[in-house]
Amino acid sequence: MSTHSLHFFDRVDTALHDETLRTALNRATARFVGNRSGAIGALSDADTLRDQARAIRAHALSRLDELLVRLAERVEARGGRVCWASDGEEARRYIAELARSRGVRSIVKSKSMASEEIHLNEALERAGVEVVETDLGEYIIQIAGETPSHIIAPAIHKTREQISALFEQHLGMPPTTEVPPMIRAARQALRQRFLRADMGISGVNFGIADEGAVVIVENEGNARLTTSVPRIHVAIMGIERIVERLEDLGVMLQVLARSATGQKLSVYTSIISGPARPGEADGPEEFHLVLLDNGRSQILGGQYAEALMCIRCGACLNACPVYQSIGGHAYGGVYSGPIGAILTPLLQPDLPDNYLLPYASSLCGACQEVCPVRIAIPDLLLRLRADAVRAGKFHPIEKPAIQSYAAMMNNPALYRVGGKFARLGTRLLRRKGRIRRLPPPLHLWTRGRDFPALPAQTFSEWWEERERQRHNG
Ligand code: SF4
């Protein structure tokens, strides 16, 4: 069932009660966390590398305008075409018009979160073009009619059993829980699509300004086929995904692969610098680079600019206890997890309940701890919360509740009386030592977890009693 039309709280509620989702998330995030920690732990200079990665990204963002112009000029000098898309609409129009003017009937795509962000597939399908995702995870969710729930593992929310059922239905594969036959079945189905596609659409991990080139990393080889077999290659790049020099990749590729999947390097790294040149056997006849702004230049220079350093490794999602419990779909936007809770309100301000996303965090700091470019995620989440409050976006009960709490904490007598009432209340609600449901409006707290019953004796009472006993004897 699609949960995207539901309110954030209801999406969270649905996710928390989905046992299969919890199983899939627990398995996958535990594996990612373990792999990352092994790969980063194996480096003697991990901290230096992360500092360097941050410096490279900060440098690129501080000169973004100049680097983008350099990238575009060099791409064009090599025979590529560049589209400066200020928003999703412009990007979709450019690609749809390109497909129409070149008689494109069939498109293969490799993984691109930017294309998800602008809902490109739907636009192309409306224009009568067949679009097939070729990354295995993306392919699974495409045939399931769903959206990605993780930046690097789009089908992380699915168990093997669910994928087997999908392949049985769509590819006629006998049921199995073994991964290799599933991969073989998908590969067989996709091979034909590559061969008949007129256009390949890819994302971009990094643009290199000096080289006029784009870098795509992957593990399956599908991006290589997408960018070299069809006669037209369109690469979609968020404008912030740039570095200045080829040497910068030495740092960025290491931290990306280790943080994302725990690999030393991804299996395939392609550096693409335009269409095939005369005499070259491989490569497309046309290369188009779509530079997607879509709200990014508004973020640049403001208090959230640091979020643009993100290299979409997904490590903060895997480390986040909230993401581990609710998965990606509950966030409602294209980007999920801690960085999604920042990017979605900034890039998709039209989503009505996205001001709630920054609250989907315990502020434990696990995200910042694993982020390869050390983005101060908890800090940014707090600033977004403050913005929401300033904009008057809060529950009417919050203000009087916090005022009462502040008054109580500033007045010892009130604190004692309040404590007594709270303890009495929890005693009445307690069943077998737990409170399963608080009365409204506090019931939201107990939708997905128990509330701890307050102890019969406060710390001060315990202390006073202890002192009394000591003095008496
Ligand atoms: S915020 Fe950091 S950890 Fe999260 S996806 Fe981006 S780079 Fe990775």
Spacing, Cα 371 to ligand 1 middle (Å): 5
Q: What percent of the chain has pLDDT over 70?
A: 99
Confidence class of residue 445 from pLDDT cuts 50, 70 and 90?
confident
What secondary structure does DSSP assign to 402-447, as a single string?
Answer: HHHHHHHHT-HHHHHHHHHHHHHHHHHH-BTTEE--PPTTGGGGGG
Section 53-74 average pLDDT = 98
Report DSSP state, residue 82: E
Model pLDDT for residues 222-251, shown as the tens digit of each residue: 999 999 999 999 999 999 999 999 999 999
Looking at residue 440, its pLDDT comes to 83
Section 433-458 average pLDDT = 82
Looking at residue 258, its pLDDT comes to 97
Confidence class of residue 6 from pLDDT cuts 50, 70 and 90?
confident
How many CB atoms are located within 10 Å of the residue 210 CB?
15
- The finding on whether 310 has its CB within 6 A of some atom of ligand 1 is yes
In the predicted model, is pLDDT for residue 3 greater than 70?
no
Ligand 1: which residue has its CA nearest to atom 2?
371
What element of type H or E holds 188?
helix 179-196
Domains and CATH numbers, the chain: 40-297 (3.40.50.10420), 398-472 (no CATH)
- The finding on whether 380 has its CB within 6 A of some atom of ligand 1 is no
Model pLDDT for residues 366-377, shown as the tens digit of each residue: 999 999 999 999
Spacing, Cα 370 to ligand 1 middle (Å): 8
- The finding on whether 372 has its CB within 6 A of some atom of ligand 1 is yes
Helices (H), 348-397: 366-370, 377-390
C-alpha to C-alpha distance for 347 and 360, rounded to whole angstroms: 17
Model pLDDT for residues 18-40, shown as the tens digit of each residue: 999 999 999 999 999 999 999 99
- The finding on whether 255 has its CB within 6 A of some atom of ligand 1 is no
Query: Torsion angle, CA of 434/440/442/446, rounded to 10 degrees?
Result: 40
Ligand 1: which residue has its CA nearest to atom 4?
316
Report DSSP state, residue 17: T
Model pLDDT for residues 279-306, shown as the tens digit of each residue: 988 899 999 999 999 999 999 989 999 9
Looking at residue 420, its pLDDT comes to 85
The angle formed by the CA atoms of residues 243, 244 and 247, to the nearest 5 degrees, is 90
More confident residue, 51 or 434: 51
Section 303-318 average pLDDT = 98
In the predicted model, is pLDDT for residue 1 greater than 80?
no
Confidence class of residue 5 from pLDDT cuts 50, 70 and 90?
low
Looking at residue 158, its pLDDT comes to 94
In the predicted model, is pLDDT for residue 263 greater than 80?
yes
Section 259-270 average pLDDT = 96
Section 166-178 average pLDDT = 94
Looking at residue 2, its pLDDT comes to 47
Model pLDDT for residues 375-405, shown as the tens digit of each residue: 999 999 999 999 999 999 888 888 888 998 8
Looking at residue 282, its pLDDT comes to 86
Model pLDDT for residues 65-100, shown as the tens digit of each residue: 999 999 999 999 999 999 999 999 999 999 999 999
pTM for the complete prediction? 0.90
- Residue to mutate, 206, 335, 375, ligand 1, most ligand atoms under 8 Å from C-beta: 375
Confidence class of residue 363 from pLDDT cuts 50, 70 and 90?
very high
Ligand 1: which residue has its CA nearest to atom 8?
313
How many Cα atoms sit within 13 Å of 71 on the Cβ side? 31
What element of type H or E holds 56?
helix 46-62
Please give the mean pLDDT across all residues of the chain.
93
Looking at residue 84, its pLDDT comes to 98
- Residue to mutate, 346, 368, 371, ligand 1, most ligand atoms under 8 Å from C-beta: 371
Section 458-468 average pLDDT = 89
Looking at residue 451, its pLDDT comes to 86
- The finding on whether 12 has its CB within 6 A of some atom of ligand 1 is no
Taken in order 88, 94, 95, 96, is the CA torsion positive or negative?
Answer: positive
Section 458-467 average pLDDT = 89
Spacing, Cα 400 to ligand 1 middle (Å): 36
Spacing, Cα 261 to ligand 1 middle (Å): 13
Atom of ligand 1 nearest to the CA of 339: 1
